[in-house]
Structures are given as structure tokens and as C-alpha cells.
Amino acid sequence: MPRIVDKKEKAARIGTAAIAVFRRRGYHATRMADIAEEAGTGKGTLYEYFRNKEDILRLEFERYFAVFESGVKAAMARADSPGQRLFALVRFAFDHVREWEDHCAVYVDYFGSAQREDDPVFSLATIYAEMEDVIRTLIEEGQAVREIDESLDSEATAELLVSLFDGFVLHGVFAERHAQPDSVLDAITRLLTSGLFAGPLQHPQDADGGARSGERAK
Amino acid sequence: MPRIVDKKEKAARIGTAAIAVFRRRGYHATRMADIAEEAGTGKGTLYEYFRNKEDILRLEFERYFAVFESGVKAAMARADSPGQRLFALVRFAFDHVREWEDHCAVYVDYFGSAQREDDPVFSLATIYAEMEDVIRTLIEEGQAVREIDESLDSEATAELLVSLFDGFVLHGVFAERHAQPDSVLDAITRLLTSGLFAGPLQHPQDADGGARSGERAK
Amino acid sequence: MPRIVDKKEKAARIGTAAIAVFRRRGYHATRMADIAEEAGTGKGTLYEYFRNKEDILRLEFERYFAVFESGVKAAMARADSPGQRLFALVRFAFDHVREWEDHCAVYVDYFGSAQREDDPVFSLATIYAEMEDVIRTLIEEGQAVREIDESLDSEATAELLVSLFDGFVLHGVFAERHAQPDSVLDAITRLLTSGLFAGPLQHPQDADGGARSGERAK
Amino acid sequence: MPRIVDKKEKAARIGTAAIAVFRRRGYHATRMADIAEEAGTGKGTLYEYFRNKEDILRLEFERYFAVFESGVKAAMARADSPGQRLFALVRFAFDHVREWEDHCAVYVDYFGSAQREDDPVFSLATIYAEMEDVIRTLIEEGQAVREIDESLDSEATAELLVSLFDGFVLHGVFAERHAQPDSVLDAITRLLTSGLFAGPLQHPQDADGGARSGERAK
DNA sequence: AATGAATGAGTCTTCATTCAT
DNA sequence: AATGAATGAAGACTCATTCAT
């Protein structure tokens, strides 16, 4: 008999509004009043749907991540070889990030300062570790069937790919993108496929003493 | 005269202390009192050397960036071809980042939320744009002398490289690194040189309708 | 007509529920939502029966006090001499308090902080003054018929008895009672009847200068 | 080199101011701003000396209680027999309460609602239990040397005395005192010494069925 | 009549910054 | 020059009360 509301939908509206403001002003600079205003409600109403400021972010993150996870699964299910699955995974991840750009920017902001390794759902470290594991396995499977170059260090390459992904996200936050995102994706494809150089590169001798270098170039 | 040396040194001590605490607790969570304690001074003293909290970060950033810039110049001066200069630049950047890891982590934290396009010294966007410009030019020069594959989109690839760099930084902040940093650098070298795959990859047909895809793969 | 019965009964249910929660959590810490939950209604419903939070307490207090007043009258009507009326009054008061223990505890809580001398029904000061008046009169009547020791200061003794009563209440709130309430009542009876000591007590000389003491002991 | 302050003294000033305002407005209704104003400082300053609102009360309570405890010891040391020690204790307690009237009123307010049995320093129940123990022991010692009537129930009487004390405090909070406090103290002395009545009282027959009564009167 | 969703006034608490010493 | 005591602006959060349904 009181007002009837779709609680889920209203929570979603608030969550979306919050992400928008977080993106605009940054998580820390955002006041609850800002979120309320953006969502078109009173301050108190926010607390009917979320326990506190951090909780709004957490719940949005869970939503974001659930979509990501199921998307990854679907994308990989459509591919037939380890290498193609790897490709599908990379492609999906980059597309997903572009679609959830605001969320990503906010997570960089938020996780950039807070290490909360206690909460596994909210722990980027855990999520990254899982991602790297999946990728590493794909690389190794690809190597087993000679689809991927056997000389690759699978662990390092997995980390590299996740880093590349992170960089793509971060770049969208820090810098204005000048090139078309599509063309950057093409460049990534190109890079993964055949590297940058036209032919074997003549490597420079390490001039700084080579302390950290070793036998890096082939 | 000795006064001046003292001043500089004390400012440096405070700056270093601040970065250390920022890294540990995050910029926002760090209180001036924390910095003072870490630096072994009183709170009030901080304001003898810096205008405010943000100023401490800004000045450290300038120091970081000055070293970076001169290092880039030196590294490039030692190489003889555009491709090698590009390589030298990438190598130096990654080494530099590892050496200034705390600073980088703090910048991710700080710039992750604040967009201050007003202040050109403090604007990552500007700095990134410059970096990308240098890299793009190198790529184009490399292409002119057929050292670098002419089919590369120089702008997109420049952005990609900077992103890769960002990702490397970010990953150190967000995730624990599992692979040795050196082996990741090797993987990067490897990737730049010849891509991931053993031979031409058979690309999957895009199953999701290809809305965003176009003719991405060659 | 049945509506009216319902109304009264529901108000009573809410009032009882409120007292129970007030007792458990304290008046200030109790939220209207708690009362609603305890009463098995919605929050809004409370306001159909009471103007506000304080009003719930006020109305319960009036109910409590009405029962007390009529009980006092009945008890005194059954006794035949001033001294016996005094005894009956004391006995009834203590019994009443034990029966309405939760109410009493809540009043201590509530009146402990709020002085609202504006509302005479709700003013403990007024009620106490009346009680003391009744007792003082009884004492004086008892003294007139030589039933009560004439050397007693009737006003001070009246206040003492009310204080003793208060203390009994308060003690139930503050401390866990260790002795059986019945045995405490017995001790009170005993005390009123013949004091503590076996014979005349040799009073100590006041060593602290006796500023406040004077010739207190006979 | 910064402003030099007697931290102890300033904390004391704030504590005293706080008690005064708590007394006037009640603990719950008092805002930190009120305390600050009364103490003649800014709001923030309060937090330099106390962790939070409750802490102000807690620390004042500890001060109050320390004085009480040492006073009790001193008073009892000056008396030579159990009965006289009991008297000295009672006298001191009542005097102390009058001197610390504001504190007592505030404690009634505060403890009236909050049961915090977790915190042993702040637990009235513990303190009361200790007091009752001391008194009970005194009574029993007095009985052993036939100074105190052996028919007394020592536990119940101890509780009664503490209750009487409580009541005296509470009465000062709830009601305006009409009789002179000194004369109430005299009445207490009188009561303890020889009860209220001139001779053996003819007890009324319990008319209410006597469910709770038993053989209370002699 | 009954309800609980909505609200914003009100409060504690934090902390960057100032400034007397 | 160095300090830390003082401060108040600012912000998260609570909860009595209102009111649309």
C-alpha cells in the first residue's frame, strides 16, 4: 500500500548515476549529495539501496564483472582452437572495456589507491591472477599444437597481454585517445600477429652496462 | 650558502617521505601528519617547503619527469637508426619505470581521479601526447627507410606502445607481478619483433554479427 | 463500535512493544523502525496512533501513573492508622515498581536527561512533590497520635523515603540485583522498624573538619 | 616552539565544560559544538584531547571515581569499629555525591540507557557489586562483634544501603530537593540508628492476597 | 486504515592549513 | 626556521516524520 517501486531498477539507476559522477569528479571528490542529485533523489534514499559510498561502487563492480565473465565464456565458446580462443578473449576484453569505459575509469581511480586484498570479489589482484592463468593455459595449449611459437615464455606473455589490456584502459583515462580505438585494436592484432618490424632488427648493443639485459633479443 | 644546500636536501627528504607514504596508503588516505612523521619533522614544517599537499606531489612529479626526459634523450642519442631509437626509447622507459616504481604507482593513484588539464606541467595528457608524437615520428622515419613495416598505422601503433607501457606500470600497482619483470620485458621485445604466432593465423569468423569489427585483421 | 476496541487495543500493543524496546536498547537508541517491528506493524502506522516518539512514552507513562495512583488510594484505604497507611503506601509502591519494572527503567532513562517542567503530567518533579506531600502528612499525623517518633523531621524523612524508593528502582536498572527483591523489602521493613544497630551506636568524631556535619547524630 | 599548553589542564577544562553542558541539556541532546562553545574552543580542538563524545564522559567518570575510591579508603581508615566504618562510608558517599552533583546527574542520564557491560572501567554494575561487597563485609564484621543486629540479612541490607544512596542521587536529578540535604542526611542517620517508629508497630494484614509477601513483617 | 519509500535536517568526526611561540 | 596546538569547513551517515498509494 505504500508507493510501489521496482527496487532493482532504482538501485540500478542510482548505481549508474554514481558511476557517471565518479567518472566526472573522481571517486574521492564525489559527495553523496552529488550522486543523489544525479540520480534525482534525496541523499537519504541512497542509503535505502546501498550501505555506504563504497558499497555503491562494489555492487556496480560486481555487475560489471559478472557481465565480463559470462562474455569471456561465450566468446571463447565460439572459437575452435587455442590460438583463436586467445584471440577471441583479447578481442572481447577490449570491446568490453570500450563499452564499460566509465566503469573502467572509475576502477582505475578507486583501485589505484586502495588495496583491499581481504575482499576476494573486490580484489583486482585475484581477478588478474585468474585472467593470467586462463591466458597462460591458452598459450600453452596453443604451443602444444604448434599454433603458437614454442619459444614464448607463456607466463610472461600472459602478463604482458593483461598489461596491454590495462594500458589500453588506463590510456583512455589518462590521455585523450587520438587514434581511433578501432585502429588501435587493429594495431594490436597486427602486433600480436607479426610484430612491428619489416625484417629481423639489428639490435643495438646495450650501452648502459647491460646489467638488467641478458640475452633479450633472439 | 650551506643554508641553501640544507633547504634543498630537506625538501628532498620530505618529497621522498611523501612518495613513500602515498604509495603505502594512497594519496587521499595520506594525512599531512603521516608525511611529517615519515619525514621526521613537524606538520608545520611541511608548509615551509611546499605550498600544500598537492604541491608535494607536483614537485616530485617534476623531478621524476625531468629525469625521464633527459634519460630518453640520452638513450636515443646512443642509437643510430629510427628503429633502434624506438627500441632504445622503449627499453629506457621500462627501465625507468621500474626504478621509479613508487612514483609511478602514486601517479596512477593521483591522476586516476583528477583531471587537471589546466596545469600543463602536471597534465599527463600533454605528456602522453608528446610521447606519442615522438614515437609516431620514429615509426614514420623507420618506415621511410624501410626499417619498419610500412603497413603499420603509425599513430595507432604509437598509442599502442604507450598503452603497453602504461599497462606495465598499472599492472605493478594493481596486481602482484608473477613473472619476472625481466622476462616480461623479454616478452615485449619478442612481441615487438615478431608477434606471437608461429605462422599466419587463421582468423575466426566474427560470430557476434561483427558490429564493431569491420576489416580488422589484414 | 468494534473499530474503537481495535483502536485501543492496537495502541496498547504499540505502547507495550515500545516500552519493551526502550528497555532493551534505551530510549534514545531506539528507532521508530524498532518499535514498528516489535509491534508487528509498519512504521507509518505508529503515527496513526501516536503523534511522535515522545508521545508513545508519554501515553504509557500516563497509564502507568494512573494505575499507581489508584493503587495507592486503595492500599491506604485498607489501613486504619497513619503509621499503617504509611507502611501500606511504602509496600504498595515497592510492589508496583516490581510489577512495572520495564516502565520504571525506561523512565529513569528518559527523565534522566530531559527536564520538561512545562508538562505537569509528564513532570516527575511534580509527581514527586505530591508523593512527598502525602508521606509528610502521614508522618505528621502519625506523630500527632504518637505512633511515629516525634523527633523525626517529617519533610526530610518523606524525601528520604521517596529517595529510598527511587534507589530501589534505579538499582534494578543499573546493577544486577544480587539479593532477592523480597529480602530487600524485608530489610527495608526491618530498617524502618528499628534501624540497623543492636544498641546505641558510639558515633565517631568527624575528622574532616565537620564542615557539613553539625550535630547530626542525636 | 609552538604554543605551549598545559595539556592536562586544558583537558580538564574541556571535561568540566562538557559535564556542565551534559547536565544542562542531557548527554544525548548535547552537541559537540555546545561543548566546544562552553569550553571556549573550536570543535576540532575537542578531538585533540578526547577521542570522541563518549570518551569525554568516560574520562570524567574515571576522575570522579578515582576521587571517590580514595575518599572511601581515607574515611574508613579514620574509624575504629565495623559499625563506625560503615557509618563513615555512608557519610562520605553522601557528601561526595553532593560535591559531584553534576557528574552524578550526568551518569544517571548516561547509564540510564546504555548497558555497556563490556567495558569494565565504565561498568556501573561492577562498581556497585564491589561497593555492596564492602558494605556486606562491614555488616558481617559488625555482627560478629555484636555491634550490628545479628538478625539483619547482610546482603539485602547492603543492597538496600546502596539503593538508598542511589535514590539520594536520583532524587537530586529528578526532583527538586525541598528539604535541606543536611536534614535528609540526618534523617538517614536517624533511620539507620533506630528506625522510624516510636514503638513496636502493629503491622497490617496483607490484603492483596499476599502472593509476593510471605512472612515479611516480624 | 495501513504502509514503507522518500527525505533532509542534524551530528559526529576528519584533516588541511594557519599561526603564535 | 621549526613546530604542533588550534580550527572550521566539509562530508558521510542516521532517523523521525511525511505522504502517495
Instruction: Give me the residue spans of the domains in chain D.
Output: 60-195
The most confident of A47-61, A162-176, B134-148, C139-153, by mean pLDDT: A47-61
Residue A18 has pLDDT above 80, yes or no: yes
Per-residue confidence (pLDDT) for residue A83, from 0 to 100: 87
- Closest Cα in chain D to C147: D198
Per-residue confidence (pLDDT) for residue A117, from 0 to 100: 62
CB contact under 8 A, D95 and C124: no
Interatomic distance D56 CA / F15 C1' (Å): 25
**Model's pTM, two decimal places?**
0.85
Residue A213 has pLDDT above 70, yes or no: no
Residue D110 has pLDDT above 60, yes or no: yes
Higher-confidence residue: A162 or D199? A162
Nucleotides of E under 7 A from a protein CB: 1-21
Hits for CB < 7 Å against strand E across D residues 146-205: none
CB contact under 8 A, A113 and B29: yes
Interatomic distance D5 CA / E20 C1' (Å): 12
Weakest mean pLDDT among A21-30, A55-64, B115-124: B115-124
- D53-79 tens-digit pLDDT: 999 999 999 999 999 999 999 999 999
Select from C26, C165, C216 the Cβ nearest to the Cβ of D189. Answer: C216
Q: Name the β-bridge partners of C197.
A: D148
- A123-144 tens-digit pLDDT: 888 888 889 999 999 999 998 9
CB contact under 8 A, C166 and D165: no
Weakest mean pLDDT among A157-161, B104-108, C99-103, D111-115: D111-115
Per-residue confidence (pLDDT) for residue D207, from 0 to 100: 36
Contacts of C137 in chain D (CB under 8 A): none
pLDDT band at C114 (very low <50, low <70, confident <90, very high): low
- Which of the nucleotides lies closest to D29 (Cα–C1')? E11
- Closest Cα in chain B to A188: B160
As a three-state string, the secondary structure of C82-133 is HHHHHHHHHHHHHHHHHHCHHHHHHHHHHHHHCCCCCCCCCCHHHHHHHHHH
Number of other CB atoms surrounding residue A75 within 10 Å: 22
Per-residue confidence (pLDDT) for residue B133, from 0 to 100: 92
Weakest mean pLDDT among A77-81, B50-54, C80-84, D180-184: D180-184
Residue D204 has pLDDT above 50, yes or no: no
Mean pLDDT of all residues belonging to chain D:
82
User: If you measure CA to C1', which residue is closest to nucleotide F4?
Assistant: D2
- Closest Cα in chain A to B96: A212
Name chain D's partners: 3 or more CB pairs within 8 A: C
Number of other CB atoms surrounding residue B12 within 10 Å: 14
Higher-confidence residue: C169 or A10? A10
B135-171 b/e (C-beta count within 10 Å ≥ 16 → b) = bbebbbbbbeeebbbeebbbbbbbbbbbbbbbbbbbb
Residue B15 has pLDDT above 50, yes or no: yes
Cα–Cα distance measured from residue A126 to residue B176, given in angstroms and rounded to the nearest whole number: 9
Q: What is the mean pLDDT of residues B82-107?
A: 89
Whether the beta carbon of B174 falls within 7 A of nucleic chain E: the reply is no
Residue at grid coordinates 583463436: A84
Distance from CA of D59 to the nearest CA of C (A): 19
Cα–Cα distance measured from residue C74 to residue B31, given in angstroms and rounded to the nearest whole number: 69
Per-residue confidence (pLDDT) for residue B28, from 0 to 100: 93
Residue C211 has pLDDT above 50, yes or no: no
Residue A115 has pLDDT above 80, yes or no: no
Residue D102 has pLDDT above 50, yes or no: yes
Count of helix runs (H) and strand runs (E) in chain C: 9, 0
Contacts of A148 in chain B (CB under 8 A): 196-198
Select from B84, B183, B214 the Cβ nearest to the Cβ of A156. Answer: B183
Whether the beta carbon of B63 falls within 7 A of nucleic chain F: the reply is no
pLDDT band at D38 (very low <50, low <70, confident <90, very high): very high
CB contact under 8 A, A159 and B184: yes
Distance from CA of C52 to the nearest CA of D (A): 17
pLDDT band at D116 (very low <50, low <70, confident <90, very high): low
User: If you measure CA to C1', which residue is closest to nucleotide F2?
Assistant: B45
- Closest Cα in chain A to B107: A112
CB contact under 8 A, B150 and A198: yes
Number of other CB atoms surrounding residue D140 within 10 Å: 16
Report percent pLDDT > 90 for chain D: 42
CA-nearest of C43, C28, C26 to C14 is C43
Cα–Cα distance measured from residue C101 to residue C107, given in angstroms and rounded to the nearest whole number: 10
Whether the beta carbon of C42 falls within 7 A of nucleic chain E: the reply is yes
CATH assignment of C60-195, given 2.70.70.10, 1.10.357.10, 3.30.465.10, 1.25.40.10? 1.10.357.10
Per-residue confidence (pLDDT) for residue C193, from 0 to 100: 73
User: If you measure CA to C1', which residue is closest to nucleotide F18?
Assistant: C44
- Which of the nucleotides lies closest to D42 (Cα–C1')? F7
pLDDT band at B218 (very low <50, low <70, confident <90, very high): very low
User: If you measure CA to C1', which residue is closest to nucleotide E17?
Assistant: B52
- C120-157 tens-digit pLDDT: 667 778 888 888 999 999 999 988 988 888 888 888 88
Q: Do chains C and B touch (3 or more CB pairs under 8 A)?
A: no
- Closest Cα in chain B to A30: B113
Q: Is the dihedral of CA D160, D165, D168, D170 positive or negative?
A: negative
For residue B148, the SS3 value is strand
Whether the beta carbon of D58 falls within 7 A of nucleic chain E: the reply is no
Q: What is the mean pLDDT of residues B9-27?
A: 94
Per-residue confidence (pLDDT) for residue C202, from 0 to 100: 46
Residue B166 has pLDDT above 70, yes or no: yes
Whether the beta carbon of D44 falls within 7 A of nucleic chain F: the reply is yes
Per-residue confidence (pLDDT) for residue A100, from 0 to 100: 93
Report percent pLDDT > 70 for chain A: 85
Q: What is the mean pLDDT of residues B32-51?
A: 96
- Closest Cα in chain C to D78: C207
Q: What is the mean pLDDT of residues B144-152?
A: 85
Q: Which three cell numbers stand for residue D53?
A: 563524545
Residue D107 has pLDDT above 80, yes or no: yes
CA-nearest of D54, D164, D65 to D109 is D54
Hits for CB < 7 Å against strand F across B residues 141-170: none
Select from A163, A185, A192 the Cβ nearest to the Cβ of B196. Answer: A192
- Complete DSSP assignment for chain D: ------HHHHHHHHHHHHHHHHHHH-TTT--HHHHHHHHTS-HHHHHHH-SSHHHHHHHHHHHHHHHHHHHHHHHHHT--SHHHHHHHHHHHHHHHHHHTHHHHHHHHHHHHH---TT-GGG-HHHHHHHHHHHHHHHHHHHHHTTSB-TTS-HHHHHHHHHHHHHHHHHHHHHS---S-HHHHHHHHHHHHHH-SBSS---PPPP-STTTTTSS---
Residue D13 has pLDDT above 90, yes or no: yes
Whether the beta carbon of A23 falls within 7 A of nucleic chain F: the reply is no
CA-nearest of B160, B114, B84, B188 to A178 is B160
Number of other CB atoms surrounding residue B52 within 10 Å: 11
